[in-house]
Amino acid sequence: MTETFRLDGTDVPFEAGETILQAALKAGRFIPHLCHHPEFRPHGSCKLCTVKVDGRQAASCTRLATSGMKVESETEELNAERLALTQMLFVEGNHFCPSCEKSGDCQLQATAYHLGMTNAHYDHFFPNRPLDASHPDFLLDFNRCILCSLCVRASRDIDNKNVFGLAGRGMASHLIVNSKSGKLVDTDFSVSDKAAHVCPVGVILRKRQGFFIPIGSRTFDKKTIKEYVDTRLGEED
């Protein structure tokens, strides 16, 4: 007999070992998220997927599904918290969507639209994070990093290279390149690396590919992030 839990009043089936987020997405129930990737171990860094489980908050990407649990996701309270978290991500870095090469393909931007974000609300930090254009094939724009650690996990767990890392604590946390010089050119990073293709924002950019796909024809120009996730899951099935 298939086990289920209740998500916003609807039964969601799951298999043993699946998290709430995995089961929800597989069932076509979208829960906003940024740091989740189906190929990596759960990390719980962005907290956008936070839900209420039997009245208590939990990250749905790390909380295992159990039979009979009652999960709330689409509530005014939780979506307000997600909106605030998204606004904080925008002001903590330097995100200028109209001039960003990733516009239309950016999950942060698409999530902001999904949550109805119309302004940043908070004061901008305007951090000074130098670009790294040393690599022949890639540009790193650290100004857009949201500390999701997807590139870190991809390089470590899939590519077995450990090209990227996170340094500092709290507000001083930042993405680094693990080389003696701190430059990407002094690593074995390559186009074929998984880490080269998982950034949800515009940190890791392929050189000589700028605006190759024109604005208006990009992923989230055609579909909302919810529609995109639903379609992708359908293709995987």
DSSP state of 176: E
Q: How far apart are CA 237 and CA 231, in angstroms?
A: 10
Task: Please state the φ and ψ torsions of residue 20, each to the nearest 5 degrees.
Answer: -60, -45
DSSP bridge pairs for 176 = 165
Output the pLDDT for position 196.
Answer: 97
pLDDT in tens, 123-167: 999 988 889 999 999 999 999 999 999 999 999 999 999 999 999
In percent, the amount of the chain with pLDDT more than 90 equals 84
Output the pLDDT for position 233.
Answer: 53
Q: What is the pTM of this model?
A: 0.92
State the chain's mean pLDDT as an integer.
93
Q: How far apart are CA 179 and CA 149, in angstroms?
A: 17
Q: How far apart are CA 93 and CA 87, in angstroms?
A: 10
Burial class (CB in 10 A: 0-12, 13-18, 19+), 150: buried
Q: Which two tokens stand for residue 124?
A: 């901008």
| Strands annotated E in 2-54 | 3-7, 10-14, 50-53
Fold of 99-223: Alpha-Beta Plaits (3.30.70)
- One of 3.10.20.740, 1.10.3720.10, 3.30.70.20, 3.40.50.2300 is the CATH number of 3-74, namely 3.10.20.740
137: left (phi over 0), alpha (psi -120 to 50) or beta: alpha
pLDDT in tens, 117-133: 999 999 999 988 889 99
Q: How far apart are CA 11 and CA 48, in angstroms?
A: 22
Measuring CA to CA, which residue among 155, 154, 142 is closest to residue 188?
A: 155
> Which element (helix H / strand E) includes 113?
helix 107-114
**Contacts with 138 (C-beta within 8 Å, 6 or more apart), sequence order:** 184, 189, 196, 204, 205, 206, 207
- Per-residue pLDDT band at 20 (split at 50, 70, 90): very high
Strand, coil or helix: 154: helix
- Per-residue pLDDT band at 228 (split at 50, 70, 90): confident
Output the pLDDT for position 1.
Answer: 59
- Calculate mean pLDDT across residues 221-234: 79
Residues of each domain in the chain carrying CATH 3.30.70.20: 99-223
pLDDT in tens, 26-73: 999 999 999 999 899 888 889 999 999 999 999 999 999 999 999 999
Measuring CA to CA, which residue among 42, 63, 43 is closest to residue 51?
A: 63
